[in-house]
């Protein structure tokens, strides 16, 4: 495997260069062992397509999404104002995120506070790269003929109405894309949003990720595709709950594509 | 003459009392905080046309949408007939438009008759859904008592109304056949349903009985209409009017965009500004108390949140799509909206009785909505997506959380840790910020 090229914005500037696009990795992508693999898959795709990108590295911080959704506007605002200062200082024009929560916050909640940059989710960028012919897939590799179902992350789907980009990408794998009974605008949450990821659920009769995993298992897929590291965790746990981890793999779209393109 | 006088009184009282109650509701809605929704007029009209008039989101669930459409379109058409009823009532004429509109009149009444039959069927289906099939979303705890009765009263009133319409037309048809209608001449009105029902149900009656039946139908119709109109402000059925303004003033931003609190932004900007002088004299023109962070009571919500509350018809689509509710948690978005209306009505009553400064030491949060409910929300927007009239329960939930967290420091303990981590090391977990790029070397 080629070593990943992951320049930081600061390093680029030291060489008198600027990134065309900033890759906003996010907390899960930086620290969570499972999500790090998604981060690397995204970087492999960016490297392969010769995208002039950079990360913030140690300068990256939380967007404030979980703080805002937990009701702490102060903590959110501290993060937002400082992040915007940093991004403006680096004159960042375009950002790709590896997480729908970062995507949503940067895209929808920062402009009001003075931010002015384009934000795309990694599934949108991958879709664009494929459309432009910069990312060539020779079939779906090991995914050909397999059954894949896509779980819509709430903050990508309902929150931002991005339903088609991930599906268009998945169709390139020459596999069978099978929809769950609740999908797109009617998709069911994995249970992690609204800061629930960081707390125990309230008392009920079931965990939300179990309910959602049942939706997925009903279509009898080989792969559950996601576009969110938190959905990934929740669905992976759900699959384990039903002891189906041998049969059903939970993968991010970036991983599916990087793998199919043999990167 | 007497009947014209009685009719005028009913008309005046019917509209007057309705107007009086509407002004009360308007006042209540204006208790809410300001929010600018006067932009993007073209897009707003389009939203109203599609969502309210066009019922677009109703059709996310096809069967109930079809039955609802029958009642809705029947309502729209029957409303036009009210014009004639009012003219007849005030002037003593009979079927004022009969000889003026000719075949258009027959077409119009035919439409009304056909739609009335469809509405009758739909009403029976809806009664069955609530009382026989016991559709789960109508059996939840927030529907106990008044909401359940309210739902049934409306449907019963509709049945009475439709029976009146058919009695009126059927008896009049029979009279016309006998040459005894108030309309000149004799023959058939050629109304599709009543020309069919008259021979079966009405022709055997004496003329005097038929005249009585026709009048009972006519008066019954208009009285139920006025009863209905004046019942609206007290009922979930108010949605038939509120759907239009409520969709017009919809949130047009992406659903994921939560509003930023300007008061917090100002405070934080000062904190982060090295040139800010904390000892500088406070602007004396600006010495009003700062707003509360988030919402504890309905006064802290925006007028749009309060309009939402009056628009809700308690259909429960939000709750049936809510992942928390589906998995047995206490949260029900419908209850959040119903509680908001109940509390707002209570505050409105208090203010009218005791003046605007009166407090009853109760609040929406605590007395109506519990902390357990609001912490169960995943902010997934399923409730917002589902609502056929663009009600937004999520923004109320988030504002209640904001109050709890920022004013009372009440927060689930795990979240305290998460927030501390964000403040200390820029991530919800306890990892050092300098290690953010370690993954690249692993």
Q: Which pLDDT belongs to residue B76?
A: 87
**Same structural domain, B203 and B73:** yes
SS3 A8: strand
Q: Considering the domain boundaries, does residue B55 fall inside one?
A: no
Does B213 score more than 60 pLDDT? yes
State which H helix or E strand residue A96 sits in.
strand A94-97
Q: Tens digit of pLDDT for each residue in B331-341?
A: 999 999 999 99
**Same structural domain, B207 and B104:** yes
CB contact burial B415-424 (16+ within 10 A = b; e otherwise)? bbebbebbee
**Same structural domain, B266 and B382:** yes
Sign of CA dihedral A213, A215, A221, A226: negative
Q: Considering the domain boundaries, does residue B124 fall inside one?
A: yes
CA-based max dimension of chain A = 58
Q: Considering the domain boundaries, does residue B279 fall inside one?
A: no
Q: Which pLDDT belongs to residue B102?
A: 86
Q: Which of B320, B329, B422, B427 to mutate to test the interface with A (most CBs of A within 10 A)?
A: B422
Does A2 score more than 80 pLDDT? no
Confidence of residue A1 (pLDDT cuts 50, 70, 90): low
Q: Which pLDDT belongs to residue B291?
A: 79
Confirm or reject contact between B269 and chain A (CB < 8 A): yes
Q: Considering the domain boundaries, does residue B128 fall inside one?
A: yes
The mean per-residue pLDDT over the stretch B40-58 comes to 96
**Same structural domain, B210 and B296:** no
Domains and CATH numbers, chain A: 9-127 (3.40.50), 138-260 (3.40.50)
- C-beta atoms of B324 and A211 within 8 A: no
Confirm or reject contact between B191 and chain A (CB < 8 A): no
**Same structural domain, B306 and B208:** no
**Same structural domain, B217 and B268:** no
B427: left (phi over 0), alpha (psi -120 to 50) or beta: beta
Shortest alpha-carbon distance between residue A249 and chain B (Å): 22
Does B345 score more than 60 pLDDT? yes
Q: Considering the domain boundaries, does residue B81 fall inside one?
A: yes
**Same structural domain, B348 and B230:** no
Q: Which of residues 299-338 of B touch A (CB under 8 A)?
A: 321, 323-324, 326-331
- C-beta atoms of A30 and B427 within 8 A: yes
**Same structural domain, B378 and B267:** yes
Q: Considering the domain boundaries, does residue B72 fall inside one?
A: yes
Residue of A nearest to B401 (CA): A71
**Same structural domain, B218 and B347:** no
**Same structural domain, B87 and B123:** yes
Q: Tens digit of pLDDT for each residue in B149-193?
A: 999 999 999 999 999 999 999 999 999 999 888 888 888 898 999
Distance CA A230, CA A151 (A): 12
Q: Which pLDDT belongs to residue B290?
A: 73
Q: Of the candidates B220, B237, B254, which is a domain's last residue? A: B237
Q: What is the DSSP letter of A189?
A: P
CA distances from B390 to A209, B242, B309, B313 (A): 27, 11, 11, 12
* CB B174, CB B202: distance < 8 Å: yes
Confirm or reject contact between B355 and chain A (CB < 8 A): no
- C-beta atoms of B260 and A192 within 8 A: no
CB contact burial B135-164 (16+ within 10 A = b; e otherwise)? eebbebebbeeebbebbeebbebbeebbbb
Q: Which pLDDT belongs to residue B273?
A: 85
Shortest alpha-carbon distance between residue A4 and chain B (Å): 7
Q: Which of B51, B323, B409 to mutate to test the interface with A (most CBs of A within 10 A)?
A: B323
* CB B286, CB B280: distance < 8 Å: no
Q: Tens digit of pLDDT for each residue in B222-248?
A: 999 999 999 999 999 999 999 999 999
Count the domains in chain B. 2
- How far separated are the first and last CA of chain A, in Å rounded? 8
% residues pLDDT > 70 (chain A): 99
**Same structural domain, B151 and B106:** yes
A192 contact residues in B (CB cutoff 8 A):
378
Confirm or reject contact between B257 and chain A (CB < 8 A): yes
* CB B235, CB B150: distance < 8 Å: yes
Q: Which of B317, B376, B383, B426 to mutate to test the interface with A (most CBs of A within 10 A)?
A: B426
Task: Tokens 């990821």: give the residue.
Answer: A197
Confidence of residue A141 (pLDDT cuts 50, 70, 90): confident
Nearest CB to A158; choose among B382, B404, B422: B382
Shortest alpha-carbon distance between residue A174 and chain B (Å): 31
A63 contact residues in B (CB cutoff 8 A):
none
State which H helix or E strand residue B146 sits in.
helix B146-177
Domain, as residue range, for B158: 2-30+61-237
- Say if residue B254 is exposed, middle or buried (CB neighbours under 10 Å; 0-12, 13-18, 19+): middle
Residue B353: give its domain's CATH number.
Answer: 1.10.1060
Size of interface A-B (CB pairs under 8 A): 221
- Reference B348, options B101, B69, B90, B27; nearest CA is B27
Q: Which pLDDT belongs to residue B284?
A: 57
- C-beta atoms of A74 and B264 within 8 A: yes
**Same structural domain, B432 and B360:** yes
Q: Which pLDDT belongs to residue B283?
A: 61
Helices (H) and strands (E) in chain A, counts: 11, 8
Nearest CB to A81; choose among B269, B412, B431: B269
- Above 0.85 for ipTM, yes or no? yes
Q: Considering the domain boundaries, does residue B44 fall inside one?
A: no
Which segments of chain A does DSSP mark as H helices, in order? 9-14, 27-31, 33-48, 65-69, 73-89, 100-104, 122-131, 164-171, 208-218, 229-241, 253-260
Q: Considering the domain boundaries, does residue B125 fall inside one?
A: yes
């Amino acid at each position: 495997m080629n070593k990943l090229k992951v320049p930081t914005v600061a390093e680029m500037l030291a060489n008198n260069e600027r990134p065309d696009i900033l890759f906003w990795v996010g907390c899960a992508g930086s620290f969570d062992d499972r999500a790090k693999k998604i981060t690397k898959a995204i970087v492999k795709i960016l490297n392969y397509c010769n995208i002039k990108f950079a990360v913030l590295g140690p300068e990256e911080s939380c967007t404030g999404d979980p703080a805002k959704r937990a009701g702490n506007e102060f903590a959110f605002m501290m993060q937002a104002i400082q992040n915007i200062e940093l991004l403006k200082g680096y004159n960042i024009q375009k950002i790709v995120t590896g997480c729908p929560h970062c995507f949503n916050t940067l895209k929808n909640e920062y402009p009001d506070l003075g931010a002015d940059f384009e934000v795309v989710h990694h599934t949108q960028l991958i879709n664009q790269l494929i459309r432009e012919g910069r990312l060539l897939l020779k079939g779906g590799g090991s995914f050909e003929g397999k059954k894949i179902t896509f779980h819509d992350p709430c903050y990508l789907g309902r929150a931002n109405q991005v339903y088609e980009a991930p599906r268009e990408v998945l169709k390139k794998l020459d596999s069978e894309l099978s929809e769950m009974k609740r999908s797109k605008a009617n998709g069911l949450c994995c249970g992690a949003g609204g800061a629930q990821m960081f707390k125990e659920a309230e008392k009920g009769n079931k965990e939300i990720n179990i309910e959602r995993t049942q939706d997925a298992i009903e279509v009898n897929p080989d792969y559950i595709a996601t576009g969110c590291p938190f959905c990934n965790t929740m669905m992976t746990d759900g699959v384990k709950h039903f002891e189906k981890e041998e049969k059903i793999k939970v993968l991010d779209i970036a991983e599916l594509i990087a793998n199919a393109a043999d990167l | 003459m007497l009947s014209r006088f009685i009719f005028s009184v009913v008309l005046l009282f019917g509209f007057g009392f309705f107007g009086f109650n509407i002004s009360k509701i308007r006042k209540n809605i204006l208790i809410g905080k300001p929010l600018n929704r006067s932009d993007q007029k073209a897009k707003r009209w389009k939203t109203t046309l599609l969502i309210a008039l066009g019922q677009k989101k109703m059709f996310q669930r096809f069967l109930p949408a079809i039955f609802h459409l029958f009642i809705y379109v029947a309502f729209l058409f029957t409303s036009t007939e009210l014009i004639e009823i009012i003219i007849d009532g005030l002037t003593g004429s009979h079927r004022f438009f009969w000889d003026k509109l000719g075949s258009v009149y027959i077409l119009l009444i035919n439409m009304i008759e056909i739609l009335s039959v469809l509405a009758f069927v739909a009403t029976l289906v809806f009664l069955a859904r609530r009382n026989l099939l016991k559709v789960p979303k109508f059996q939840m705890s927030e529907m106990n008592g008044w909401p359940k009765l309210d739902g049934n009263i409306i449907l019963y009133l509709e049945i009475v109304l439709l029976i009146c319409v058919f009695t009126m037309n059927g008896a009049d048809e029979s009279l016309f056949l006998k040459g005894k209608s108030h309309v000149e001449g004799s023959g058939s009105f050629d109304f599709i349903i009543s020309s069919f029902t008259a021979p079966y149900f009405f022709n055997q009656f004496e003329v005097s009985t038929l005249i009585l039946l026709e009048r009972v139908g006519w008066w019954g119709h208009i009285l139920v209409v006025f009863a209905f109109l004046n019942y609206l402000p007290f009922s979930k059925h108010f949605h038939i009017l509120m759907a239009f303004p409520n969709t017009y003033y919809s949130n047009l931003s992406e659903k994921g965009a939560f509003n930023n609190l300007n008061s917090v932004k100002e405070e934080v900007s000062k904190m982060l500004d090295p040139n800010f002088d904390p000892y500088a004299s406070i602007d004396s023109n600006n010495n009003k108390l700062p707003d509360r962070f988030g919402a504890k009571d309905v006064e802290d919500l925006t007028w749009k949140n309060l309009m939402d509350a009056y628009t809700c018809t308690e259909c429960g689509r939000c709750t049936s799509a809510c992942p928390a509710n589906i998995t047995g948690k206490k949260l029900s978005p419908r209850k959040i909206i119903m509680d908001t209306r109940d509390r707002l009505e209570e505050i409105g009553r208090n203010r009218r009785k005791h003046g605007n400064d009166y407090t009853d030491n109760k609040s929406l949060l605590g007395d109506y909505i519990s902390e357990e409910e609001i912490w169960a929300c995943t902010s997934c927007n399923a409730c917002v997506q589902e609502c056929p009239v663009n009600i937004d329960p999520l923004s109320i939930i988030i504002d209640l959380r904001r109050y709890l967290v920022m004013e009372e420091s009440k927060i689930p303990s795990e979240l305290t840790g998460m927030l501390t981590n964000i403040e200390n090391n820029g991530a919800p977990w306890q990892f050092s910020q300098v290690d953010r790029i370690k993954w690249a070397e692993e």
